[in-house]
A and B are shown apart, each in its own frame.
Chain A
Amino acid sequence: GEDVEQSLFLSVREGDSSVINCTYTDSSSTYLYWYKQEPGAGLQLLTYIFSNMDMKQDQRLTVLLNKKDKHLSLRIADTQTGDSAIYFCAESHSGGSYIPTFGRGTSLIVHP
């Protein structure tokens, strides 16, 4: 199986909360990331969390980490149409020279 897995699609209504989930396999993961990719653009780092944390909040974004289950989630509050994009989960660890391994991305579609 893949090292980092995500569901491929998520559709939400504008104003609702979005929750994008990710699972990873490497228990030595040190950093876990969420990136956003808009059409025609590169990946943009949204936020990251150290593996010794279980939550991080940054404005409308909340990251939850369940290290026991190797599960990471990104919650976007009050989702807007401008949040429509592909969201990538990634992990890095010292054994991999801290080079991020990415999931395949979740395509978030926000409809009015």
Chain B
Amino acid sequence: DSGVTQTPKHLITATGQRVTLRCSPRSGDLSVYWYQQSLDQGLQFLIQYYNGEERAKGNILERFSAQQFPDLHSELNLSSLELGDSALYFCASSVERGPDGYTFGSGTRLTVV
């Protein structure tokens, strides 16, 4: 157990739907990062939150949004889903800018049918 908890582990939904992925960071970590892992794009950084505020944005589509709550858990919202959104979505947390890198959760596998 890495200390980063992601739910659900698996999600199957239809095109056009909206889903919410949840992440609880490791205790003491203020930063949360979302990544998308797909076969064709590899591991892509989506967005970072630090202590409730958006800190950095990567290749996140406009149909996707995220937030971090006062208890530091984060949610990634994916709307108007397309087949191409099928992927593994990882959350990671860290001490801000620490060289120790990031602690990853085990991911949510999203399948859009």
Contacts and interface: CB of A to CB of B under 8 A. Distances in A.
Contact of B102 (A40, A45, A103, A104): A45
B100 A45 contact: yes
Contact of B106 (A41, A90, A101, A104): A41
Interface in B1-31: 2, 4
B42 interface: yes
B49 to A, nearest CB: 12
Given A42-B2, A105-B42, A97 B56 contact: yes
B99 interface: yes
Interface residues of A, number: 22
Interface of B: 2, 4, 33, 42-43, 45, 48, 55-56, 58, 90, 92, 97, 99-107
A102 interface: yes
Contact of B105 (A42, A88, A101): A42
A3 to B, nearest CB: 11
Given A97-B55, A102-B42, A33 B105 contact: no
17 contacts: A31-B99, A31-B101, A35-B104, A41-B106, A42-B2, A42-B4, A42-B105, A42-B107, A45-B100, A45-B101, A48-B99, A48-B100, A97-B55, A98-B97, A99-B58, A101-B45, A105-B42
